[in-house]
């Protein structure tokens, strides 16, 4: 990729696919700050988490090249898109990676399943300041006005100040008009779980099949330091996500339990 070294290099990806309106909205923001490289799945890959493609070859297709914007579709998953961009397309590390804007929330435990956040985490593994952005609107044509306005601030701050090493940001926007958003809340991931139900059906060949449904159960709805509380109360939630899953408190207890070899 031919790069203009005097401009920041911004890597953009998502999990909703190369044609998603949320991706276009994010590209519109990113173009204000530098040269934009988009590598996104050729179709929706929602819920793929950090899956990578190892059984089949990956394919890249350049679909657009214009001043300060190059776009590729990729046959793989969001994490594949980041890996290919870093290892095959660019010859310098991007200054920032932004993933999204996802159609639907990635707050609380959804971060575990999210392809949007997997791309941000993959960027963090490569030492790139990385951000995943989502809106709590599952429609095909959300209003991204607030996302664009506040997302511009987030990207600007990240380019100026960076993100602590080993951290990426999980940003969720409430489904609200711009003037109704109360601002940002730096918060933690709420404890909760998706209560899953399966809609069981039978096809014309008398074979059973299932549609995954369900609802989210927030275990701590009144705790004001969580992302779920922030979104419910008209704030943009920003959760610093650590790539290292190690539990330091649990390590202390386990060290005493396994202090002596054998039984």
Q: Tell me the per-residue pLDDT of 183-222, one tens digit each, with 9 for 90 and over.
A: 999 999 999 999 888 999 999 999 999 999 888 889 999 9
Sheet containing 9-13: give its strands across: 60-66, 69-74, 35-41, 9-13, 96-103, 130-135, 167-173, 236-242, 184-186
Distance CA 147, CA 144 (A): 5
Q: What is the pLDDT along the chain (263 residues), one digit of tens a residue?
A: 454 567 999 999 999 999 999 999 999 999 999 999 999 999 989 888 999 999 999 999 999 999 999 999 999 999 999 999 999 999 999 999 999 999 999 999 999 999 999 999 999 999 999 999 999 999 888 999 999 999 999 999 999 999 999 899 999 999 999 999 999 999 999 999 998 889 999 999 999 999 998 888 899 999 999 999 999 999 999 999 998 888 889 999 899 888 876 65
pTM comes to: 0.92
Per-residue burial over 203-212, b if 16 or more Cβ lie within 10 Å, else e, is: eeeeeeeeee
What is the predicted pLDDT for the residue at 215? 87
Q: What phi, psi does 158 have (nearest 5°)?
A: -70, -40
What is the predicted pLDDT for the residue at 5? 65
Secondary structure of residue 130 in the 3-state scheme? strand
Distance CA 4, CA 6 (A): 6
Are 51 and 77 spatial neighbours (Cβ–Cβ below 8 Å)?
yes
Q: Burial of 36 by CB count in 10 Å (0-12 exposed, 13-18 middle, 19+ buried)?
A: buried
Are 141 and 75 spatial neighbours (Cβ–Cβ below 8 Å)?
no
What is the predicted pLDDT for the residue at 202? 95
Question: Distance of alpha carbon 220 from its chain centroid, rounded?
Answer: 23
Written as six digits, the tokens of 62 are: 């350049």
What is the predicted pLDDT for the residue at 129? 97
Closest to 74 in 3D by CA, of 51, 104, 93: 51
Domain ranges of the chain: 9-190+221-257
Distance CA 93, CA 96 (A): 9
* 9-190+221-257 belongs to CATH 3.40.1210.10: yes
Written as six digits, the tokens of 84 are: 């290919």
Distance CA 33, CA 51 (A): 30
What is the predicted pLDDT for the residue at 140? 83
Secondary structure of residue 252 in the 3-state scheme? helix
What is the predicted pLDDT for the residue at 161? 96
What is the predicted pLDDT for the residue at 38? 98
């Amino acid at each position: 990729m031919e790069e203009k070294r005097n401009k920041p290099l911004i890597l953009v990806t998502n999990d909703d696919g190369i044609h998603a309106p949320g991706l276009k909205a994010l590209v519109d923001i990113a173009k204000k700050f530098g040269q934009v490289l988009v590598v996104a799945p050729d179709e929706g890959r929602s819920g793929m988490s950090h899956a990578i493609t190892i059984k089949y070859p990956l394919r890249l297709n350049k679909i657009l090249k214009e001043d300060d914007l190059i776009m590729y579709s990729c046959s793989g998953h969001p994490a594949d898109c980041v890996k290919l961009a870093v290892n095959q397309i660019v010859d310098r590390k991007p200054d920032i990676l932004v993933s999204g804007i996802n159609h639907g929330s990635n707050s609380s435990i959804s971060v575990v399943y999210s392809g949007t956040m997997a791309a941000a985490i993959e960027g963090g593994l490569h030492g790139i300041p990385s951000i995943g952005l989502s809106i709590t609107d599952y429609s095909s044509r959300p209003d991204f006005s607030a996302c664009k306005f506040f997302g511009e601030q987030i990207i600007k701050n990240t380019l100026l100040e960076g993100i602590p090493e080993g951290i990426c940001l999980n940003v969720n926007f409430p489904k609200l008009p711009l003037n109704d958003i109360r601002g940002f809340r730096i918060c933690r991931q709420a404890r909760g779980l998706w209560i899953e139900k399966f809609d069981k059906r039978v096809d014309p060949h008398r074979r059973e099949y299932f549609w995954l449904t369900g609802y989210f159960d927030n275990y701590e709805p009144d705790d004001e330091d969580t992302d779920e509380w922030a979104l419910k109360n008209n704030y943009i939630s920003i959760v610093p996500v650590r790539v290292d899953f190690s539990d330091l408190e649990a390590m202390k207890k386990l060290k005493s339990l396994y202090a002596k070899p054998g039984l």
